[in-house]
């Protein structure tokens, strides 16, 4: 039985092509995925991301709890509204999920986790929370709309209710602010500036229309994927999962090693791996030949070993194939990718291809 | 509604086939197929002079979403390929029946084309999907 967001009728109205995404009926595109991609890079687009799971964690034990639960350290959040990206690890250092947590108040943090991992995340978090004094409340009463692109904030501010708009106007990057039941974070998953807006489901359809009125076009989850890959942002379940640590997933930077006495789940395992030196790394690939990189293609690094593409696509901005790939740690600047029996040449780079509309590759 | 011209034949795997005056046969994918695939970003054309049996996978069309095989509609030898698709694969989206043709073959048997679906049969076929 598939679930529908509060904006489902809007997707149909705008000609959205509906597909199943983690048990949700979601629009993959509204016509052309490439045009929607360019719309976000060049102007402003919006995505219904209401399928994502929002959890409010409240209680006076919430800070010590999150310091134990997450590999990144919420003590880094000094100001209310600030967001932190983190992995949630298992004891072996594998990634249960990646998430964003917002510091709302000293006794209230809001966490956004993936839709596909909702059930296992909630079970895990509840298990770990037993020793802490906190309440966990799933906010399935909220819809979420991501507005992204160089002109997204300016346009969205016109469409937001006046009190929310005032709260959102001066947000720095990676900060959020609430007003009543609305919450606006200056965050995203596209490599462009913009907002992620949470609001009561009952107001979602009307607000969607207001965003259209302000000149923001609907974009599907297809464009969201090509945008995030160009931006070098990992996708859970594809670029990392419970069998891979952050260190071999390009996410070592999200582990807060200091203070050394902070005991977080998975610490021992990732420390041991770091000590030994990780055997693999996550890199970016740019295909010099014509073709399209796709997940699971074999990567061959001469004299070093083999790896695998974790996610690949045709980059609409760069007009060539790009990918993230997990390869042996000793991989240098070149590799081959096997596509339908042929070995094609690819360059190995840091996995950031496009940021703020600009190419990051030579 | 997708366009289904009357002057061609169609396969269950959504190729269209047009008999030319010189006895060769031009092959592409239907308007319906290009709609399903979405934006096409790469075409791996078959080799000229290669021979395939009917229903063999002979080339690949890749959209932003996925790679899809194109199947030989009837047994024959590839005599030409549409080189314009190398630089502009999205011609298949914008003009599936004309500029977006993919390859031409010389059929092993001229009678084979008659075994394929006509436009009205194909229309009924995709209506059932």
- Report the complex ipTM: 0.86
Is the pLDDT at B1 greater than 70? The verdict is no
Interhelix angle for A221-230 vs A33-42, to 10°?
50
In a domain, B20, yes or no: yes
Instruction: Work out how many domains chain B is built from and give that number.
Output: 1
In a domain, B118, yes or no: no
Contact (CB<8Å) A33/B60: no
Our CA-based measurement puts residue A169 at a distance from the nearest CA of chain B, in whole angstroms, of 35
Neighbouring residues of A315: CB distance < 8 A, sequence distance ≥ 6: A226, A229, A230, A321, A322, A353, A354
Read off the pLDDT of residues B76-118 as tens digits, 9 standing for 90 and up.
999 999 999 999 999 999 999 999 999 999 999 989 999 999 9
Q: What residue of B is the nearest CA neighbor of A35? A: B39
Q: What angle do CA A91, A97, A7 make, to 5 degrees?
A: 160
The SS3 of residue A181 is coil
In a domain, B38, yes or no: yes
Q: Give the model's pLDDT for residue A228.
A: 98
Q: Give the model's pLDDT for residue B128.
A: 77
Structure tokens at A29: 């595109």
Contact (CB<8Å) A314/B42: yes
Q: Give the model's pLDDT for residue A362.
A: 77
Read off the pLDDT of residues A182-220 as tens digits, 9 standing for 90 and up.
999 999 999 999 999 999 999 999 999 999 999 999 999
Question: Closest to B41 (Cβ–Cβ): which among A28, A29, A314?
Answer: A314
* Residues B24-51 as b or e (16 or more Cβ within 10 Å = b): bbbbbbbbbbbebbbbbbbbbbbeeeee
In a domain, B78, yes or no: yes
Instruction: Calculate the alpha carbon distances from B115 to B18, B59, B110, B123 in Å.
Output: 13, 22, 11, 16
Residue A361 pLDDT level (bands cut at 50, 70, 90) = confident
| Residues A153/A194, Cβ–Cβ less than 8 Å | yes
Give bridge partners of residue A177 from the DSSP assignment.
Answer: A184
Structure tokens at B7: 């002057």
Enter the DSSP assignment of A252. G
Residue B40 pLDDT level (bands cut at 50, 70, 90) = very high
Best residue in B1, B36, B37, B39 to probe A by mutation, most A CBs within 10 Å? B39
Contact (CB<8Å) B64/A313: yes
Which pTM does this prediction carry? 0.94
CATH code of residue B48: 2.40.50.100
In a domain, B45, yes or no: yes
- Once rounded to an integer, what is the mean pLDDT over residues A281-292? 95
Our CA-based measurement puts residue A239 at a distance from the nearest CA of chain B, in whole angstroms, of 17
Question: Closest to B64 (Cβ–Cβ): which among A222, A290, A340?
Answer: A222
Contact residues, chain B, for A34 at CB < 8 Å: 39, 41, 64
Contact residues, chain A, for B86 at CB < 8 Å: 290
Mean pLDDT of chain B: 95
Is the pLDDT at A77 greater than 70? The verdict is yes
Is the pLDDT at A290 greater than 70? The verdict is yes
Report residue B112 CA to chain centroid gap: 16
Q: Strand A342-349 and strand A280-287: pairing?
A: antiparallel
Read off the pLDDT of residues A316-334 as tens digits, 9 standing for 90 and up.
999 999 999 999 999 999 9
Is the pLDDT at B129 greater than 90? The verdict is no
Chain B 34-53, residues with CB within 8 Å of chain A CB atoms: 38-39, 41-42, 44
Is the pLDDT at A111 greater than 80? The verdict is yes
Neighbouring residues of B112: CB distance < 8 A, sequence distance ≥ 6: B54, B74, B75
- How many distinct helices (H) and strands (E) make up chain A? 9, 21
Question: Closest to B38 (Cβ–Cβ): which among A33, A313, A340?
Answer: A33
| Residues A239/A44, Cβ–Cβ less than 8 Å | no
- Look at chain B and count its residues: 129
Structure tokens at A5: 């967001």
Read off the pLDDT of residues A252-264 as tens digits, 9 standing for 90 and up.
999 999 999 999 9
In a domain, B42, yes or no: yes
- Once rounded to an integer, what is the mean pLDDT over residues A85-90? 98
* Residue closest to B111 by CA, chosen among B42, B34, B25: B25
In a domain, B61, yes or no: yes
In a domain, B74, yes or no: yes
Q: How far apart are CA A186 and CA A299, in angstroms?
A: 36
Best residue in A16, A297, A312, A314 to probe B by mutation, most B CBs within 10 Å? A314
Percent pLDDT > 90 in chain A is 96
Contact (CB<8Å) A34/B62: no
Q: Give the model's pLDDT for residue B2.
A: 86
Q: Give the model's pLDDT for residue A118.
A: 97
Is the pLDDT at B60 greater than 70? The verdict is yes
| Owning domain of residue B32 | 9-108
Q: Count Cβ–Cβ pairs < 8 Å, chain A vs chain B.
A: 35
One DSSP character per residue, B19-76 reads E-TTS-EEEEE-HHHHHHH-SEEEEEPPPTT-EE-TT-EEEEEEESS-EEEEE-SSSE
Question: Closest to A294 (Cβ–Cβ): which among B44, B67, B86?
Answer: B67
């Amino acid at each position: 039985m598939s679930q529908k967001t509060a904006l489902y009728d809007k997707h149909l109205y705008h000609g959205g092509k509906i597909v199943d995404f983690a048990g949700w009926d979601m629009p993959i595109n509204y016509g052309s995925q490439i045009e929607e991609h360019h719309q976000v890079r060049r102007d402003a687009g919006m995505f219904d991301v209401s399928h994502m799971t929002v959890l409010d964690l409240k209680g006076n034990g919430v800070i010590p709890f999150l310091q134990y639960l997450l590999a990144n350290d919420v003590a880094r959040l000094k100001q209310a509204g600030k967001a932190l990206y983190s992995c949630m690890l298992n004891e072996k250092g594998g990634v249960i999920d990646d998430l964003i947590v917002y510091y709302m108040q000293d006794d209230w943090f809001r966490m956004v986790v993936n839709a596909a991992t909702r059930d296992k995340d909630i079970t895990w978090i509840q298990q770990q929370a037993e020793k802490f004094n906190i309440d966990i409340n799933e906010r399935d009463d909220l819809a979420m709309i991501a507005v992204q692109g160089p002109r997204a904030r300016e346009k969205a501010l016109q469409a937001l209710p006046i009190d929310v708009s005032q709260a959102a106007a001066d947000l720095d990057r990676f900060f959020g602010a609430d007003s009543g039941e609305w919450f606006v974070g200056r965050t995203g998953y596209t490599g462009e500036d913009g907002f992620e807006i949470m609001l009561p489901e009952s107001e979602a359809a009307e607000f969607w229309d207001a965003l259209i009125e302000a000149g923001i076009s609907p974009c599907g989850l297809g464009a969201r994927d090509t945008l995030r890959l160009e931006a070098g942002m990992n996708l859970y379940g594809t670029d990392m999962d419970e069998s891979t640590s952050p260190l071999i997933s390009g996410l070592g930077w999200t582990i807060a090693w200091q203070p050394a006495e902070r005991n977080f789940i998975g610490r021992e395992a990732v420390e041991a791996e770091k000590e030994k030196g990780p055997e693999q790394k996550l890199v970016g690939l740019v295909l010099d030949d014509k073709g399209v990189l796709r997940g699971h293609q074999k990567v061959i690094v001469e004299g070093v070993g083999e790896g695998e593409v974790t996610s690949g696509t045709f980059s609409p901005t760069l007009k060539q194939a790009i990918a993230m790939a997990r390869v042996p740690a000793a991989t240098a600047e070149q590799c081959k990718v096997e596509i339908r029996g042929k070995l094609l040449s690819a360059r190995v780079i840091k996995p950031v291809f496009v940021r703020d509309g600009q190419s990051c590759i030579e | 509604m997708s366009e289904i011209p009357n002057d061609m034949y169609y396969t269950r795997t959504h190729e269209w086939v047009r008999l030319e005056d010189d006895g060769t046969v031009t092959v592409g994918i239907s308007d319906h197929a290009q709609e399903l695939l979405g934006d096409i970003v790469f075409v791996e054309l078959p080799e000229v002079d290669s021979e395939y049996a009917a229903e063999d996978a002979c080339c690949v069309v890749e959209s932003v979403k996925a790679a899809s095989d194109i199947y030989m509609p009837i047994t024959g030898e590839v005599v030409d390929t549409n080189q314009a698709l190398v630089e502009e694969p999205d011609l298949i989206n914008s003009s599936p029946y004309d500029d977006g043709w993919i390859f031409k073959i010389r059929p092993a048997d001229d009678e084979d084309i008659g075994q394929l679906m006509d436009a009205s049969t194909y229309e009924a076929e995709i209506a059932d999907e």
